[in-house]
């Protein structure tokens, strides 16, 4: 393995981590109430969120793979990719709540005027923990579970969901 190969691997990993940070910032900017709700769910019951996420992700991913293999055409591959990527993107969306929780634990003076910095700090820390490769699947499952719990949570009577 020469220096070019090492540089390629390092830059791919850094690029992937930057995409995670950008995704969490975009989700927080577009859906702040959703991220707040996921942060609350992850803060109150992280193990329950992880179990729910695992229970949702395993059938979706294996079902997507089975469906893609059952239909041996381009359509099957597209459906398989859509199911798997949709599951991963939903998990990353819920994990934005975890980035917010981490960012709240690292307060700064400018948080009142620039609240997005909480997400940025938490996202950078969370992305750096992904270098261990242990936290990546654990947090993704917890994020998916938080998103599912938020979607199926109880709402007050007459509440309008926007």
* Angle at alpha carbon of residue 66, lines to 90 and 142, rounded to 5°: 25
Let me know if residue 50 belongs to a domain: yes
Let me know if residue 85 belongs to a domain: yes
This prediction has a pTM of: 0.86
Let me know if residue 161 belongs to a domain: no
Low-confidence stretches of the chain (pLDDT < 50) are 162
**pLDDT of amino acid 77:** 85
Of 31, 15, 16, 17, the closest CA to residue 90 belongs to 31
Let me know if residue 159 belongs to a domain: no
CB-facing half-sphere around the CA of 126: CA atoms within 13 A: 33
**pLDDT of amino acid 22:** 96
Q: Answer whether 143's CB lies under 8 Å from 94's CB.
A: yes
pLDDT in tens, 128-153: 999 988 999 999 999 999 999 998 76
Calculate helix-pair angle for 32-44, 135-151, nearest 10 degrees. 110
- Domain of residue 11: give its range: 3-151
Whole-angstrom distance, CA of residue 119 vs CA of residue 101? 8
Let me know if residue 162 belongs to a domain: no
The count of domains in the chain is: 1
Let me know if residue 147 belongs to a domain: yes
User: What φ, ψ does residue 150 adopt, rounded to 5°?
Assistant: -70, -40
């Amino acid at each position: 393995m020469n220096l070019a190969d090492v540089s390629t691997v390092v830059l791919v990993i850094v690029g992937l981590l930057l995409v995670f940070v950008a995704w969490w910032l975009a989700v927080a900017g577009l859906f702040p109430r959703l991220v707040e709700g996921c942060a609350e769910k992850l803060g109150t019951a992280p193990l329950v969120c992880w179990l729910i996420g695992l229970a949702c992700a395993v059938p979706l991913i294996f079902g997507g793979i089975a469906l893609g293999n059952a239909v041996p055409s381009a359509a099957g591959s597209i459906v398989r990719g859509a199911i798997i990527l949709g599951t991963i993107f939903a998990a990353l969306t819920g994990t934005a709540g975890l980035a917010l929780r981490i960012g709240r634990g690292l307060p700064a003076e400018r948080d009142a005027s620039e609240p997005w910095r909480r997400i940025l700090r938490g996202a950078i820390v969370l992305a750096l923990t992904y270098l261990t490769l242990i936290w990546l699947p654990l947090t993704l499952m917890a994020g998916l579970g938080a998103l599912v719990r938020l979607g199926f949570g109880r709402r007050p009577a007459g509440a309008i969901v926007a």
